Structure 1
Amino acid sequence: MKTTLPSALGRVLLNRRRLLQGGVAAGAALALGGPMGRAMAQDKVNLTVWAWTPKTQDMANLFMQKYPHISVTVENVGQGAPHYVKLRNAVTAGTGLPDVALIEFNSISSFKALNALADLGPHIDPAIAEKFIDWTWTSVTEGDKVYGLPWNTGPMALLYRADIFEQYGLTVPETWDDYAEQAIKLAQAAPGKYLADFAVDSGWTAAVLWQAGWRPFKTEGTNIQIRINDEIAKSWANYWQRLIDAKAVDTKPGWTTEWFAALDDGTYSSWVTAAWAPVLMEQSMTKSFGKWRAAPMPQWQPGGKVASNWGGTVFSAFSTSPQLKEAAEFATFMSTDPEAARFWLTDVFLFPVLDELIEDETLMGHPYEFYGGQAVNTIFAEAEAQVDPSFEFAPFQDYVNSQIEDNFAMAVAGNGTLADAFDRVQDAVVIYARDQGYTVT
């Protein structure tokens, strides 16, 4: 990251009266492009952006065409943990941070707690809030402070194998009770095949529990309420424990080559997942091409219309950046420029955050051959409007995630139950929060 030169206005410090007093000499200097003329031009600004998403530099290049005085360099320092480790190391060191970085929704509170995020509010048009899906704007703001601009989301739905459902007489589940019934039916009819895999994944766990009404954290300053092992969590744990014990779902690790192969070859015939998943499936699956379909996320109550969100990112600027105005211009462009926003959906399959695009029937209605010609985006668009914005992540969500994954893995391996795992996570997180200086209630 290169520190920008002082602004032209700041360097010259000319007001109208002084300029007039300069008379002919000043006019000549301006006409000849001398020092005063050069000073009035916009200074070149260099922005460094950390992002792991594909083709981000392509869109940065489009931004630079519209803002030629701003040069943007996109750096991929890693995806997932490596990205956040480098950001936190730079925060701790007090140097080396980019001007702007991609941050997932579940990490905003963590960086806010470190006082690392800049308030973009003074540098953006307040009317921009009206462009975004309500819950996404709520997630990045606190009062009139704006800690990032939403870029993409992960509304959830059920992806399932139409061919396997037809072969074994399965019905698309409308409720989670239906889902359990279909899981048991398939396991009994075809041993070795599963409706799903209960892969230990803290992000997925939080997302599905979000839909169920789980609200594990409420933070006000240094006061935090922690209810990780509440009644909702225990009920959810018992639900999945019954399916695991009945061998109606598998418990293999997720995100491996073998795991994607199991989805492709029909070992697993459904995945409750987010709107960004279809592109991963298209890239990694060939046998099941055209056999997948999408349906709304199963509901905990019959007739319910509640969805959830898994993942999604925002562009945030860091308080150490000397060029917050330009950082805000970049974030605004990436989030709201119509050409860029359509590109992210159609070319990279990042689900949009703009009401305008969600309401675009042509865009949402595009059929996908991988899904047998189904316009799967219509399903995710409906889910986007059904996300409850009241969910809060912890200001130390990384630690919470690690505890969930470690303790769930123990439970899946036979060391206690998932309900026991929630108790262990609760105890560990309470201790950690107090060690970090929080008052726990």
Structure 2
Amino acid sequence: MKKNSTSPWLKAGLALGTVALLVAPLAACSSDSSSGDTSGGTSQADIDAAVKKGGEITWWTWGDTTQDWADAFMKKNPKVKIKVVKLDNPDATVTKLQNAVKAGSGAPDIVPVEYQTLPQLTMSGALADMSAYGLDKYEDDFTASTWNAVNVADKLVGIPLDSGPMVMIYNTKLYAAAGIKEAPKTWDEFVAASAAIHKYDPSAYIANGGDAGFFTSMIWASGGHPFKTEGENVTIDLQDQGSKKFADMWGGMLQKGELSQVATWSDEWTKSLAQDKLGTLLMGSWMIDMGEDYGVDKWKAAPMPTWDGQPGSAENGGSSITVTEQSKNKLIGAAVLQFLAEGDGRDLVNQGGFPATVATFDEPEWSNRVYPAYVDEQKANQVGAASAKSVIPGWQYLPYQGYANNVFADSVGKAISEEGDLNAALKEWQKTLVDYGNAQGFTANK
């Protein structure tokens, strides 16, 4: 890599949430690894021998089930000791990891990473390339979109844990009352349904305005590819065909006053869903297992509407499991990732969230599961499985996606609250992201 005294990975304070992250140079700039077990290819015998010999590793997490996973691994491999450290949330985990990268020490051996954050952590040298440890053998076991997410800059930086192929979960009671007989298959039908719901009950809405994660997923589902990164070159086009098509459609409903202003996950949002004032959730399939707080026996899951009525979807959420570049026990880390990729370990992973493993979609117990929220004992998981197969390929996140999401409220979020022009807001968001990228040493839109 070309040496650059203003490398963006050295200079940038990449904001994730409300916290500034400290980053290190590109991993490609490092002369070697200090972990002692990463040179050349690694055989399964090497991994097995390391586990048999034993050692102690640290596993940071924000999840409640990680200790169970670690305990199951240690039961099978009693000479390995895993210290699980619980952190508050994904943002706190990434911030702490980036600080360790900056300091040159203090990182754990294993850490979960949300898909949107993988490019940022990979380029800052935080994550180890696991292709040398044979983990690429699992490619066919996972959905194409989640496997693409863990392959960053020609590196395999982890394995998928869960996934979030988008589905439309709609309130059959509200839809029927508004005269809508079936789920919209196209966005034109969705717009018509929006008008019908708001006409039937001016205090009811088809959906709320959305947040940064929702917007990027919807642009993806609309065929947009607004973010492209090659090394330090970043291209941002939030007026590409998919971005503009979505903004035109969503903005039209917004300016008619047909989208709710309640914030996603707020108490008001939950009440609106339970009281039939918010008719639709456009979310990752992890939402299929919706709780009784939203009401029972009134929901149905349907494929995402598309522009032409043909299958097309996007990911919305999900995370991976990775080994850090600072780890002194990458062989044991690789063994843990193998454990979580197949067999008993994968079974534990798939007990929570929506699975990323394609074989799960054909398991009768999973595919035929019935949830109390859904009418007619709908087997809603099958809708999510179909969505996973229709995720539009080629999506990329920004290498500073955390910052992008953080400043979303200043432009697009403001337009939502003021029922303003979403295309103008996307242009403003783009300018902020381009200016930020160039200020940090990237070459953005040049």
Q: TM-score range by the shorter chain?
A: 0.7 to 0.9
Which residue in 2 is equivalent to 1:295?
302
Q: Could you tell me which amino acid in structure 2 is paired with residue 435 of structure 1? A: A
Distance across 2 between alignment mates of 1:277 and 1:370: 11
Corresponding position: 1:377 with 2:386: no
Which residue in 2 is equivalent to 1:314?
320
- Aligned identity (percent) is 27
Give the deviation of 1:205 after TM superposition: 0.8
Distance across 2 between alignment mates of 1:87 and 1:425: 27
Give the deviation of 1:41 after TM superposition: 10
Give the deviation of 1:144 after TM superposition: 6.2
Give the deviation of 1:401 after TM superposition: 1.2
Give the deviation of 1:215 after TM superposition: 0.7
Which residue in 2 is equivalent to 1:190?
201
Distance across 1 between alignment mates of 2:387 and 2:157: 25
Distance across 1 between alignment mates of 2:51 and 2:396: 45
Which residue in 2 is equivalent to 1:397?
401
Give the deviation of 1:161 after TM superposition: 1.1
Give the deviation of 1:283 after TM superposition: 5.7
Gaps of 5+ in 2: 1-34, 38-48
Give the deviation of 1:405 after TM superposition: 2.8
Q: Conserved in 1, the CA contact under 8 Å of 2:214 and 2:316?
A: yes
Which residue in 1 is equivalent to 2:430?
426
Give the deviation of 1:239 after TM superposition: 1.5
Bigger radius of gyration: 1
Q: Conserved in 1, the CA contact under 8 Å of 2:66 and 2:84?
A: yes
Q: Could you tell me which amino acid in structure 2 is paired with residue 159 of structure 1? A: I
Give the deviation of 1:416 after TM superposition: 4.6
Q: Secondary structure at the match of 1:276?
A: helix
Distance across 2 between alignment mates of 1:136 and 1:236: 23
Query: CA, structure 1 residues 132+100, in 2 after alignment: closer, same or farther (shift >3 Å)?
Result: same
Corresponding position: 1:181 with 2:172: no
Counting matched residue pairs gives 399
Query: CA, structure 1 residues 392+40, in 2 after alignment: closer, same or farther (shift >3 Å)?
Result: closer
Corresponding position: 1:233 with 2:243: yes
Give the deviation of 1:43 after TM superposition: 3.9
Q: Could you tell me which amino acid in structure 2 is paired with residue 198 of structure 1? A: G
Which residue in 2 is equivalent to 1:331?
337
Distance across 2 between alignment mates of 1:416 and 1:127: 49
Distance across 2 between alignment mates of 1:257 and 1:298: 27
Which residue in 1 is equivalent to 2:212?
202
- Aligned to 2:158, which of 138, 148, 153? 148
Distance across 1 between alignment mates of 2:280 and 2:419: 27
Query: CA, structure 1 residues 125+111, in 2 after alignment: closer, same or farther (shift >3 Å)?
Result: closer
Query: CA, structure 1 residues 83+53, in 2 after alignment: closer, same or farther (shift >3 Å)?
Result: same
Moved more, 204-213 or 408-417: 408-417
Query: CA, structure 1 residues 155+115, in 2 after alignment: closer, same or farther (shift >3 Å)?
Result: same
Q: Secondary structure at the match of 2:87?
A: coil
Corresponding position: 1:132 with 2:136: no
Q: Conserved in 2, the CA contact under 8 Å of 1:404 and 1:422?
A: no
- Aligned to 1:342, which of 328, 342, 347? 347
Q: Conserved in 1, the CA contact under 8 Å of 2:298 and 2:374?
A: yes
Q: Could you tell me which amino acid in structure 2 is paired with residue 366 of structure 1? A: R
5 Å-filtered alignment, 1:20-419, equals 42-142=52-152, 145-170=155-180, 171-199=182-210, 201-279=211-289, 281-282=290-291, 284-285=293-294, 288-302=295-309, 304-334=310-340, 336-345=341-350, 347-348=351-352, 350-372=353-375, 373-414=377-418, 416-419=420-423
Q: Provide the aligned C-alpha RMSD in A.
A: 2.3
Q: Could you tell me which amino acid in structure 2 is paired with residue 341 of structure 1? A: R
Which residue in 1 is equivalent to 2:10?
none
Distance across 1 between alignment mates of 2:325 and 2:246: 40
Give the deviation of 1:198 after TM superposition: 1.2
Moved more, 81-90 or 305-314: 81-90
Corresponding position: 1:436 with 2:440: yes
Q: Could you tell me which amino acid in structure 1 is paired with residue 299 of structure 2? A: W
Query: CA, structure 1 residues 415+278, in 2 after alignment: closer, same or farther (shift >3 Å)?
Result: closer
Give the deviation of 1:139 after TM superposition: 2.0
Moved more, 401-410 or 97-106: 401-410
Give the deviation of 1:368 after TM superposition: 1.7
Q: Secondary structure at the match of 1:434?
A: helix
Distance across 2 between alignment mates of 1:97 and 1:238: 44
Query: CA, structure 1 residues 284+56, in 2 after alignment: closer, same or farther (shift >3 Å)?
Result: farther
Q: Conserved in 1, the CA contact under 8 Å of 2:51 and 2:332?
A: no
Distance across 2 between alignment mates of 1:57 and 1:104: 19
Q: Conserved in 2, the CA contact under 8 Å of 1:274 and 1:309?
A: yes
Which residue in 2 is equivalent to 1:32?
none
Moved more, 155-164 or 47-56: 47-56
